[in-house]
Amino acid sequence: MQEEIILSDEEIAILQEIMNISFGKSAADLADVIDTHVVLSVPFIKIMQVHDLPTYFKDHVKEYKTISIVEQKFWGRFKGDALLVFSSGAGKELIKMLQHETSPGFESDPIDILERETLMEVGNILIGACIGKLAELLKDVVTYTPPMVVVERNYSDAITENRYDPSSTAIVLKTDFCFDKGGVSGFLFLITSKDSVTWMKEALRLFIEQYE
Amino acid sequence: MIFNQIFNSINIGLIILDRDLKVQRWNRWMESHSGIAEEAIIGSSVFDAYPNLNNPKFNRSCKSVFSFGNFCFFSQKLHHYLFPFKSTSYFESFFEYMQQSCSMGPLRDEHNDIQGLFIYVQDVTEVAIYEHKLVELNLKDGLTGIFNRRYMEVKLREEFSRCKRYGGELSIIMFDIDFFKKVNDGYGHLCGDFILKSVSSRISSIIRNVDYLFRYGGEEFCCMLPETKFEGALQAAERFRNAVMDMENNYDNAIIKITISLGVAGLNEEINSAEMFIKKADDALYKAKREGRNRVMPMS
């Protein structure tokens, strides 16, 4: 399959800058919502064929023995799939960190439900924060599907090959995050399809116009 | 106008809160389950009527809706409910309150600024009951209500590998009702079932919370005793034997006395699989049978 130019170098640079700004804002607001500081790295943008995605993910998470994944689809004019990958043991750390209040009738439920739900809650907040701020800068409003979660699986069976339509091209926005409490870390991947590209090019142009 | 009609006739609860978490709208579904009329609650903080919502998770969720335009989900599994409403289920009252799956999200004005949030409430009580029943069916023996053999294999393997990896004591007792065929032949199979249930409930009543009692098959049972040394398990087995021997099983005005034979195994270095562990206890049980029944036999 031939490589096609989807976003120019200049557009990628603008997108990178927008992500820097938006993730900076997310981190500040996240500290207020979940009461811990989240450090988000400078995001990295890569354009690739969808069938290369699983290998790309695996290369990034292979130092983790097991991983937990929270996945959420988002759609506005900016639409796609957010995958938040947590390092092993993250669920239990997050439970401690958030000091989850026990709700009535909870005693009979096993700990893994709490772990699942905690990952889901934190994942939902983190994904929403990053995408929400990004969409806001690009003057878009997005909605989300309920998060899905995979808990503590070996990384090679957690990321399956048949998740995406292999014929399409993806724009992958990747950022590393870590929480200053509890040593939880991982990656956030935003995968958007080519469908969002036309809108994105226009939004990037409008964004930069404000400063020109 | 049309949206108002849908708002009030839809079969889910819908609530709109402003940025101070004061109620703006409260649909008919909410009125009928809460018993609070919309006029009565509009303008007051949702915490006035439902102080249980004033908890970290709910507050965190509201903040994330207002800060990021997030959608937040409150699953039945973890939260059970947001609003303590009476259960509407036709089933036996398994849950005290209606089980709810809830979600919240932002409401924006024409400038895309978030002015409030919506919450929707779905009644999932029946699904939760079905799920609970499925889990029960999967783990428990239908007749006696104690754990089944499938669960025994899972649990024993888990406990076995935990002890092998981290150390710790583990013992099992296999036991079997003596001359059970005679009960069935002499009093009928219903009486046999009655005896199985009586023995299960008697033994369940004298084991610790951390112990597991399984029906292994037919009239054979297995009790797993975590963190218990072999000698402790032998004493427990002796208690089981006495408890069953003392039972006065009253069936159709007849008192049926029964006894059990027991084999006890304690985990040691020689035992290298869960299957071998069971076999040790099972061999001891058969030895107890051969040597005259109604006795406890340690593994060899």
pLDDT in tens, B113-134: 899 999 999 999 988 888 888 8
Domain B140-298 has CATH 3.30.70.270: yes
Candidates B63, B71, B80; nearest CB to A143 = B71
Does residue A35 carry a pLDDT above 80? no
Query: How many independent structural domains does chain A possess?
Result: 1
Q: How many CB pairs under 8 A join A and B?
A: 80
Write the pLDDT tens digit of every residue in A47-64: 887 778 888 888 887 777
Range 87-126 of B in CB contact (< 8 A) with A? 95-96, 103, 105, 108, 112
Tokens read off for B276: 């071998």
- The mean pLDDT of A121-150, rounded to a whole number, is 85
Does residue A26 carry a pLDDT above 90? no
Candidates A104, A141, A147; nearest CB to B112 = A141
pTM across the whole model: 0.69
Residue A164 lies in a domain: yes
Distance from C-alpha of A69 to C-alpha of A87, rounded to nearest angstrom = 9
Residue A1 lies in a domain: no
Residue A3 lies in a domain: no
CA dihedral B282, B287, B293, B295 (to 10 degrees): -80
- Alpha-carbon dihedral sign for residues B271, B275, B277, B281: negative
Quickly list DSSP for chain B.
-HHHHHHHHSSSEEEEEETT-BEEEE-HHHHHHH---HHHHTTSBHHHH-GGG-SHHHHHHHHHHHHH---EEE-HHHHS-SS-PBP--SS---SSB--EEEEEEEEE-TTS-EEEEEEEEEE-HHHHHHHHHHHHHHHB-TTT-SB-HHHHHHHHHHHHHHHHHH---EEEEEEEETTHHHHHHHH-HHHHHHHHHHHHHHHHHHS-TT-EEEEEETTEEEEEEET--HHHHHHHHHHHHHHHHT--EEETTEEE---EEEEEEE--TT--SHHHHHHHHHHHHHHHHHTTSSSEEE--
**What is the domain-level CATH number for residue A93?**
3.40.1550.10
Residue ranges covered by each domain of chain B = 2-131, 140-298
B136 is catalytic: no
Q: What is the largest CA-CA distance in chain A?
A: 61
CATH number of B2-131: 3.30.450.20
Q: What pLDDT score was predicted for residue A136?
A: 83
Best mutation target among A117, A118, A133, A139 (most B Cβ atoms within 10 Å) is A117
B73 close contact with A: CB closer than 8 A: yes
**What's the ipTM?**
0.71
The boundaries of the domain holding residue A78 are: 9-209
Which residue is associated with the tokens 């069976």? A157
Residue A206, Cα to own-chain centre: how many angstroms? 25
